[in-house]
Structure 1
Amino acid sequence: MVRIFYALLMSLLITGQAHAYSYAAAGKEPLIDAREAIYKAVNAGDFEAAKLAANEISEELAYLTTDYDSGLSDAFEKALASQDTATIAAAINRVFIAEITRRLQSGSENLNDYQTAKVLVVKSKRFFDAMAGELPGKRRQAADESLRQALEAIGNPGVFGVGKREADPAAYNAAVEDVLKALAN
């Protein structure tokens, strides 16, 4: 009987560990991949290649434009047409801010599902990290701290209930507002 109990306990622990780390799977992010390709092409002076890389994310841009930032697609196209590196960088950051907004708002809608909310916040942090070097220090720090607060506000299911913390929707929404404020300034 004791052996069965230990075998069951070990299988739960092993399964729990695998599930607990699933949010960290790298996965493909077309917007991040396109950003890298666009920057590489722009730095080489190959603006046709930059436009081709941008075409790879046309569906994502259309979606973000429709639901999160009207005018985003037009601004992105104009930036590429300008062939100005700073303008292109600003347009890419605008795309990333729309994507961060999308993920954080979806996190708010999924606070009752810890794993989903955590994945959304962690992935929004991944987008932030990609653009963070281009932000002034205080804005970068404010956004980074607010993302940490959002992650904290989603709660924690604990292990077998030990360490369980319920999600705090008010704290989450305040943290999201602070992230977006820091990114928009």
Structure 2
Amino acid sequence: MKKFLLFFGLIMIVTFNYILFPSSAFAYSYGDPGKEKMAEAYKELDKHLENDDWNRAEQVYETYKKEFDLYFKKTQPDISEAFKDKDKELLRRSWQAAMRLNIERRLHFAQEQFEDYGQAKLLLAKARGTYSILEPIYSKNSDQSSADQIYQAFDEALKALGNPGLFGIGNKQSDRETFDQKVQFIIDKLQPQFPIVSEVEKDKSHLTEENLGLFDKMGNEGSSSFWLWFSVGLIALLIVLIVNNKRKQKKR
């Protein structure tokens, strides 16, 4: 009888979990909620690049090519160019940009599903897990304090989700405004650090050698000669104006 009651109790627990938390338990097959396979693959990619093993690096990319086709299409021209030219830095930066886009994607859907606590929490965990791969790069390019602020923003966003509790016990009120603020903070911090490489180069394309040379001369070695001739020109213009003025006065 005791065994039957124990078995019955286990069945009831599983049933209640399914009824109360269907979306968080079964809607997405995420595996470890704190890991994103595409982001974890960056470590493997980086290792192959260190060993100049471009064949294995390309195999890593091919494994996740469908995800790139769907979600990170803007990075693909740069990735193709990186493999073609065997440009390690371009490939790393392009994959990093894709991870940043993936964080934005996860956070966007977390906002859309804010009322679904289990789902939003999983999406937030995926975004945080991806950031954990980018964080050493971010702190190297920026500073550790700023990198830690992003972790703090993730933690505060999680708190802002609230918690429905079990049967209402231990429930915490959600805060949509704070959640959106923290999400935007994370996005704003990551975007300039992990841009799409070709878009950055496109923005720089209006800076030609001619206009860069002009400003370099004005700002550096040629600055003294520039201001000398500028002053001479002003004096000459002043003399011409005075002479013309005197001529007008004589005619009168």
Query: Structure 1-normalised TM-score?
Result: 0.79
| Alignment correspondent of 1:73 | 76
| Alignment correspondent of 2:102 | 99
C-alpha distance 10-57 of structure 1, shift in aligned 2 (>3 A) = closer
Deviations 1:24-45 (Å, cap 9, x if unpaired)? 9427844134323311211111
Q: Which moved more, 1:110-119 or 1:154-163?
A: 154-163
Contact 1:34 1:56 in 2 (8 A): no
Selected match of 1:38 from 41, 45, 59: 45
Is 2:61 the partner of 1:54? yes
Long gaps (5+) in structure 2: 193-252
- RMSD of aligned C-alpha atoms? 3.0
Contact 2:36 2:129 in 1 (8 A): no
| Alignment correspondent of 1:147 | 154
Selected match of 2:123 from 120, 123, 136: 120
Q: Which runs of 4+ in 1 moved over 6 A?
A: none
| Alignment correspondent of 2:211 | none
* 1:80 positional shift: 3.5
Q: What secondary structure is seen at the aligned counterpart in 2 of 1:134?
A: helix
* 1:13 positional shift: 9.3
Q: Which moved more, 1:142-151 or 1:72-81?
A: 72-81
* 1:74 positional shift: 1.3
Distance 1:184 1:79 in 2: 21
Is 2:183 the partner of 1:176? yes
Q: What secondary structure is seen at the aligned counterpart in 2 of 1:133?
A: helix
Larger Rg: 2
Contact 2:113 2:119 in 1 (8 A): yes
Contact 1:111 1:167 in 2 (8 A): no
What is the count of residue pairs matched by the alignment?
A: 174
Q: Which moved more, 1:113-122 or 1:150-159?
A: 150-159
Selected match of 1:162 from 162, 169, 180: 169
Distance 2:90 2:166 in 1: 48
Q: Which moved more, 1:100-109 or 1:146-155?
A: 146-155
C-alpha distance 166-13 of structure 1, shift in aligned 2 (>3 A) = farther
Matched to 1:113, the amino acid is D
Query: Structure 2-normalised TM-score?
Result: 0.60
Matched to 2:65, the amino acid is S
Contact 2:79 2:91 in 1 (8 A): yes
Distance 1:138 1:86 in 2: 25
Is 2:116 the partner of 1:109? no
Long gaps (5+) in structure 1: none
Matched to 1:116, the amino acid is Q
Matched to 1:92, the amino acid is W
C-alpha distance 131-64 of structure 1, shift in aligned 2 (>3 A) = same
